Amino acid sequence: MSRRTTVTWTAIALVGLLVAGGVSLGVRALTTESVGLTSEPITAGEDLAPPVDRAQQRARERRRLAARRAAARRRRAAAQRREDTAAVAPPPAAVAPPVADDHGGADDDGSGHGRGRGRGGDDSGSDDSGGGDDD
């Protein structure tokens, strides 16, 4: 291959790359949409909102204020009831100390307490006495 042929093919390849890049930029520019409100001023939506009725707005504000006052009255009344109840409450009754048990009582079935409940009771169906005749 001659030098002239090599230069010609290299030039054609570079022109092809430039054409491909230009086509991709053109397609991108055609298909890209600007999304969002960056192109709109802040006051753009004010025309869409319904007009404000000042009388309704004042009435709504009065109802909200009345509800807040009622809630504050209920909180104060509840606090007052708690104070009144705390002032009238009788002192706690004296509690007798627990009686020590040496496990010698008749109500002890030997099954143990706490962990392992159900193991070693009379209803297990097995005889663990070891005194049987195993000959």
Q: Is residue 92 a contact partner of residue 83, using CB atoms and an 8 Å limit?
A: no
Q: Of 101, 123, 127, which Cα lies nearest the Cα of 111?
A: 123
Place 55 in a pLDDT band, splitting at 50, 70 and 90.
Answer: confident
Q: Give me the helices (H) in 1-135, please.
A: 3-31, 54-88
Distance between CA atoms of residues 57 and 59, nearest Å:
5
pTM as predicted: 0.29
Sequence spans of domains, the chain = 53-86
List pLDDT tens digits, range 12-45. 999 999 999 999 999 988 887 766 656 666 776 7
Distance between CA atoms of residues 92 and 84, nearest Å:
17
